[in-house]
């Protein structure tokens, strides 16, 4: 479904800060995969996601989505195929706009926007229903400005927005990292539920290794801009956090996870 070939990205080339963040990375994602991505700080996890959706251009390599090379397309043109949820709950929504308006913007992701009214009555009904599935009581707050919602609520709404019209690939960039443990758990379970119900293909970066094991059908570990471990199916289900830590020590040559990763 999505194929990444020899992808390379260097930040600040030619300066003292030069850093090779993605180094000849190869990855094959099949339709229906729910892949969790772990790795230390600076391993290139977020960069990989940003390269896939085009936040910045790759230096080299190919990104092939459903047979089409997309690595040279601008970000807004790729958006029709990707649903995204960011780490910062403020980044996925427009604070000064109503909940319903935000959903309406997302409902038109990748479509041509014209001069018809920004939101229709039937849509409101649809949004009410979809918000109800979150179980956060947001279905009664369609006309509230998003800025009035808590971080967790905003992140749940962003998740809904990203999946409102099924994306080819859902990209989750540590989307629960900024939330308190309880809310993170709720949003994570919602993520699982939505991906399962809509049979989405997803890539989820997380710092929480237990979550990386519990969710999805495949797990990849990254280090120094490349994938050092790739496991799926029953073998993944059997993993324990200690196994991952040990594997990381062996495979990364001992650079080690920080304590903060033992979430």
Partner 1 sequence: MQFLLAVEGAIAQGLLWSVLALGSYLTFRLLNFTDMTVDGSFTTGACVTAICIVNGIPPILALLVSLLAGGIAGAITGFLHNKLEIPEVLAGILTQISLYSINLRILGRANQQLLQYDTIFKQLQNLLAEIGLKLSSDRVAIIIGLIFVTIVIVVLYWFFGTEIGSIIRATGNNEAMVRALGQNTENTKFIALIIANSCIALAGSLVGMYQGAADVGMGAGAIVIGLASIVIGEVILRRVIAFGSKMVAVVIGSIIYRIIVALVLQLGLSTNDLKLLTAIIVALALFLPNAVSKHNAKKARELAARETRDA
Residues engaged in binding partner 1 (CB under 8 A):
53, 55, 74-77, 79-80, 82, 84, 86, 90-97, 101-102, 104-106, 108-111, 113-119, 145
Rounded to a whole number of angstroms, the minimum distance from the CB of residue 194 to partner 1 is 17
The sheet that has 19-29: what strands, in order across it? 19-29, 2-11, 60-65, 68-69
Q: Are strands 60-65 and 2-11 parallel, antiparallel or unpaired?
A: antiparallel
Kindly tell me which of 91 and 247 has the beta carbon lying closer to partner 1.
91
Kindly tell me which of 54 and 152 has the beta carbon lying closer to partner 1.
54
Helix (H, G, I), strand (E, B) or coil at 34: strand
Kindly tell me which of 16 and 115 has the beta carbon lying closer to partner 1.
115
Rounded to a whole number of angstroms, the minimum distance from the CB of residue 80 to partner 1 is 5
Rounded to a whole number of angstroms, the minimum distance from the CB of residue 106 to partner 1 is 6
Kindly tell me which of 109 and 215 has the beta carbon lying closer to partner 1.
109
Rounded to a whole number of angstroms, the minimum distance from the CB of residue 174 to partner 1 is 15
Please, are residues 174 and 87 in contact by the beta-carbon 8 Å criterion?
yes
The sheet that has 82-85: what strands, in order across it? 82-85, 169-173, 202-205, 34-39, 218-223, 226-232
| Helix locations, 199-230, DSSP H | 209-214
């Amino acid at each position: 479904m999505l194929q990444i070939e020899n992808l390379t990205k260097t930040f600040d080339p030619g300066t003292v800060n030069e850093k090779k963040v993605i180094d000849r990375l190869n990855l094959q994602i099949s339709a229906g995969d729910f892949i969790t991505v772990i790795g230390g700080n600076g391993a290139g996890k977020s960069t990989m996601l940003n390269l896939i959706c085009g936040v910045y251009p790759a230096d080299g390599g190919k990104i092939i989505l459903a047979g089409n090379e997309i690595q040279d397309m601008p970000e807004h043109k790729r958006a029709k195929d990707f649903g995204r949820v960011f780490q910062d709950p403020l980044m996925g929504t427009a604070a000064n706009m109503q909940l319903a308006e935000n959903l309406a913007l997302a409902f038109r992701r990748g479509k041509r926007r014209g001069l018809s009214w920004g939101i229709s009555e039937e849509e409101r009904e649809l949004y009410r229903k979809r918000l109800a599935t979150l179980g956060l009581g947001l279905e009664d707050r369609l006309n509230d400005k998003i800025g009035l919602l808590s971080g967790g609520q905003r992140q749940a709404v962003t998740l809904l927005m990203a999946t409102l019209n099924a994306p080819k690939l859902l990209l989750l960039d540590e989307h629960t990292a900024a939330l308190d443990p309880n809310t993170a758990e709720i949003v994570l379970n919602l993520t699982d539920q939505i991906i399962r119900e809509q049979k989405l293909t997803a890539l989820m970066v997380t710092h929480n290794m237990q979550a990386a094991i519990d969710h999805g059908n495949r797990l990849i570990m990254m280090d120094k801009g490349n994938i050092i471990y790739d496991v799926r199916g029953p073998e993944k289900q059997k993993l324990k956090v200690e196994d991952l830590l040990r594997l990381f020590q062996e495979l990364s040559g001992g650079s080690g996870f920080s304590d903060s990763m033992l979430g």
